[in-house]
Structures are given as C-alpha cells and as structure tokens.
Amino acid sequence: MSDPWLASALALWVALVFALERLAAAETPPPDNYRRIARNIGLGLIALTAAPLLLTLTGRLASGVEPLVPLAGLGLPAALLVQLLILDIWTYGMHRAYHELPFLWRFHAPHHLDDHLDASSAFRFHIGEILISAAMRLIPAFLFGIDAATLLLFEAILTANAVFHHSNIRLPARLERWLSLLIVTPSIHWMHHHKKRTDTDSNYTAILSIWDRVFGSRNPEPRRIGMAIGVEGEHDLSFGKLLAYPFVR
C-alpha cells in the first residue's frame, strides 16, 4: 500500500487475526503448517509488491479520461461510497469469472490448492491473477472515474476482510450469524474452499455478503469442522509448481 496509514492499519489487523487464530483456533492446523504459511507468504509478497503499483497505474490512467458515468454531482462522500460498492460488485463478478472460465481458473486455482485456511491464505494469489484483476479494473475505473486513491482504499478494505474470512478463528455462533448478514465471514467463505467443486463454485462475494443472494450463488450450508479444503481431485504443490501451475495445466 502506498498510503502508510492504510499499510500500518492493515499490518496491525493481520497481526491481530494471526494472534487470535492461535488463541482460539476453529480447526487444528496440519503438522506442516509453517511450511504452508511460508508458501503463502512467498506468493503474498509478490502480490503485495505488484498490486499497489498496478492499481496506482490503473487509477492514473482512468483519471486522465472523462468518466462515462460521472459521479461528482453526488458529492464526495456519496460518490466514494458508490464507487466502493461498484468495485465490490465488480470483484464478485471477476471472482465468479475465475471459476467459470477455464483460462482464468488456471490462475485462480493456486489460491484454492491451499489445503488449510488461515490469515495467510488471504495473500496466496498467483501473480498472473493479480495482473489480470488489475487490468480488468480499468473497466469500472474508466466508466465511473475511480482514481488511484479509491482503488487502493478498496484494496485495503478487501484485503482486511479477506484476512478475516479466510481466518481460522473460532467465533461465537451468534456473533458470526449476525456478522454474516452484512459481510463475508469464515463460515461463508470456508464453504467456498470446500474440496467439493459444487461448493467451491459458490459464495463468490468478497466483502458484502448480499451479492451472492442477489445473483443466486449463495450456498446456505455453514462450514463444518473437519471438512476437506482444497481443489477436488488435486493436492497442494510446492512454491515453484504453484507459480508454474497456469502454464502447465
């Protein structure tokens, strides 16, 4: 993140979630968990280096063009809110496309090959997916005049919630039920990572939980302790093979 305040807040949030996972784990981590975390951090370091630069470039390109749907008349706070909502819907659509289009799935599959979930899983994305997603955000950025600062703010919110909904935290059932009415929670997103393709192809939304209900992709089943995580018929790979995955499958 180019904004030091956003970066600091996100780092503190990741540290808090990481600590809570160790104090109140929902699932027992696998024996080689630290090796798995190291793979995820390796992919995450590449993604976190590239994403802010690409999003800044995307925002600057869009800022030089008159938006097709100007929102300035709404006033700054309302325009910002609308742009964030648009980006959340766009992220839902892109995520669904990564599952439904075989070419895009090649780049998204390394994220799903993780056979356990925790905060580190939120950073496990192939650099190819980062490049494609940044390029595709040019579309809403051009349409609605979304600048670099707004793109980076959205990315920080998205990452913070991804850290939460991938996390291995045991939450009180009532709290999670109430939270799930508004945002994606671990119970919702862990079903998306179930090693059963029909469950994997559901629960696509990233921040607000409403979009799966609106677009008919909601999976009503909650996560089950002990459910298999990963890609049906496949298993996790080494760091090098994860990077090569889109080009050899």
User: Which residues does 138 contact at the CB level (< 8 Å), separation at least 6?
Assistant: 58, 61, 62
**Banded model confidence at residue 76, pLDDT cuts 50, 70, 90:** confident
d(CA 162, CA 156): 10
Cβ proximity of 104 and 217 under 8 Å = no
The pTM of the full predicted model, rounded to 2 decimals, is 0.93
d(CA 227, CA 90): 30
State the average pLDDT over residues 139-162. 93
**Banded model confidence at residue 22, pLDDT cuts 50, 70, 90:** very high
Predicted local confidence at residue 106, as pLDDT: 97
The pLDDT of residue 111 is above 90: yes
Cβ proximity of 225 and 187 under 8 Å = no
d(CA 158, CA 210): 15
The pLDDT of residue 1 is above 70: no
**Banded model confidence at residue 2, pLDDT cuts 50, 70, 90:** low
Predicted local confidence at residue 58, as pLDDT: 82
The three-point CA angle 188-194-196 to 5° equals 130
Higher pLDDT residue, 65 or 187?
187
